[in-house]
Structure 1
Amino acid sequence: MMSVRKLKDLAFKGFCLACALFGLSVLASILYALVGKGLAGMGTHIFTELTPGPGSHGGLKNAIVGSLMLTALGIAIAAPLGVLAGTWLAESGQRSKVAEALRFLNGILMSAPSILVGLFVYKLVVVTTGGFSGWAGATALAILALPVIVSTTEEMLNLVPKTLKEAGSGLGAPRWRVITRLCYRAAGPGIITGILLSVARITGETAPLLFTALNSSFMTTDMSQPMANLPVTIYQFAMSPYSSWNELAWAGALLITVFILIVNILATALPRWIKSRKAAQ
């Protein structure tokens, strides 16, 4: 007969399997609805026409362009700040009380609700400047992306062997050159992964943009004005009673999902490709 220990083991494995199947079934149902309804509203008009008025047909061209601009600017702000902050934490502030406090605050910021970041930037930028703008939206996205880049950079630099750093210092190279020429080259794939993951993190954020960039029905590249963006457009169109807007909302949701999927694939494949190139050289 089977022992009690084996019965408990089988019961635990069966429970884990049931939970996994339940989670996968929920995910599959969401993807089925998203792909089915998203493809139904997909077409060339999505990329060539502006967002329509109530009850009319159109596309998402201005929202796509606005989202790309906001995301690119947010990462352009967060990436250098995050890499430099992570470098200081890894190389100069390992035993500093200030560094410990910064790590603690970085962890809080990483798990903070995005709507709080939106409210913070609203008070800091929107109220100060007197209006919603793309600059405010990019600032909010940069704050959301920053903790991911900081923590990833610090962890990757901590994995660089000390012997490599000592070898560079032994040749007479100053510390900044050891970090930029040796440490960054060794930790580069991991840092790039962190930056790409931060892109995926901020791409679908809606709440911060509601308080900062707001939205627009027009095509604009002026960052000092409210800008159209996919997350807020999807939110507004999904809540509307117009079927044409609902179709555009599903199509926009599918676009964001595919973009995040591509970014995550790049985050996995690009570091491996860089390592293989270095090994081949």
Structure 2
Amino acid sequence: MLAGNIKARKIFNNFMHVVIIILTVLALIPLISILSYIIYKGYRVINFEFLVSLPTPAGDIGGGIGNAILGTLILVGVASLIGLPIGIMTAIYLNEYEPKGRFAEIVRFVVDILLGIPSVVVGIFAYVAFVKPFGGFSAMSGGMALAIILIPIVTRSTEGVLKLVPNEYREGSYALGVSQWQTIIKIVIPTAMKGIVTGVMLAVARSAGETAPLLLTAFGNHYWSHSLSEPIASLPAQIFEYAKSPYTDWIEKAWGAALILIIMVLFLNITARVLTRKKY
């Protein structure tokens, strides 16, 4: 009887193992298909000129997306400088200082709402809050719009990672007379650093690929930008402009720009993994 139960359990375990593998493969098929198609369509237009040149006028052959690459880096940098400290500090407050307080529950509720708001709505809000009062489109407005998207993602991911740090670490630190803020800085954050960096990279990657908020705030241009107070190009906006054009050359460049955007996001993730692998 016992041997029969063990055999049945092994059969069921093997069956579920096969089911999980099949479902995993099914989940990977769309991702692999999208990446393969973008690589196939985009690699043919990528060269040095494409990466460093300005766009050409409509209908002309040549040019590149150098200004859009630089603009994306600037926009993501501005969003990170604004959003990362706010998101990480909010998560530390929610998890370390007031994990079960009423105010903390309100903050979590607001963060969850922000997570579910469509990006185009964030763009409309940013247009009303940042563009109209300052009299025009600008890189700063675009960075602040991306920061609004970035903050709730960083907050939720960081809070989840901080919850995984064992309370024994905190209690041992307190027993040695270490204050709470020193415990957070020297014990909790280093322990959770790998997860925090991973969450930050996911948030940065999400913000780097947003299009709607940038169309309503940064707007875009075909020139090098020299100030945060003027419109600035970005890869998502450039891809949108090229993809909807009737020119074959621009459509091909849209595929190349999409591939470059994916490579940039992949580079950020790999860099984060390498930097945190040994130290944390």
TM-score, scaled to structure 2: 0.88
* Residues 1:134 and 2:139 are matched in the alignment: yes
- State how 1:91-170 maps to structure 2 within 5 Å: 91-170=96-175
Instruction: Name the CA distance, whole Å, in 2 between partners of 1:151 and 1:23.
Output: 24
Letter in 2 for 1:110: L
State the number of aligned residues: 271
* Residues 1:207 and 2:250 are matched in the alignment: no
Name which of 196, 217, 222 aligns with 2:227: 222
- State how 1:154-193 maps to structure 2 within 5 Å: 154-193=159-198
Alpha-carbon shift at residue 261 of structure 1 (Å): 2.2
**Identity rate, percent:** 36
Name which of 34, 41, 61 aligns with 1:37: 41
Instruction: Name the CA distance, whole Å, in 1 between partners of 2:26 and 2:198.
Output: 30
Give the match for residue 265 of structure 2: 260
Query: For residues 270 and 107 of structure 1, do their structure 2 counterparts lie closer, same or farther at Cα, with a shift above 3 Å needed?
Result: farther
Letter in 1 for 2:56: P
Name which of 53, 59, 81 aligns with 1:76: 81
Secondary structure at the counterpart of residue 245 of structure 2: coil
Secondary structure at the counterpart of residue 219 of structure 1: coil
Query: For residues 25 and 158 of structure 1, do their structure 2 counterparts lie closer, same or farther at Cα, with a shift above 3 Å needed?
Result: closer
Give the match for residue 55 of structure 1: 59
- 1:234–1:252 Cα contact (<8 Å) kept: yes
Structure 1 gap ranges (5+): 1-7, 276-281
Alpha-carbon shift at residue 269 of structure 1 (Å): 4.8
Alpha-carbon shift at residue 172 of structure 1 (Å): 2.3
Segment drifting more, 242-251 vs 29-38 = 29-38
Instruction: Name the CA distance, whole Å, in 2 between partners of 1:11 and 1:232.
Output: 47
TM-score, scaled to structure 1: 0.87
- State how 1:10-49 maps to structure 2 within 5 Å: 24-49=28-53
Query: For residues 261 and 128 of structure 1, do their structure 2 counterparts lie closer, same or farther at Cα, with a shift above 3 Å needed?
Result: same
Query: For residues 180 and 16 of structure 1, do their structure 2 counterparts lie closer, same or farther at Cα, with a shift above 3 Å needed?
Result: closer
Instruction: Name the CA distance, whole Å, in 2 between partners of 1:268 and 1:64.
Output: 23
RMSD: 2.5
Alpha-carbon shift at residue 164 of structure 1 (Å): 1.9
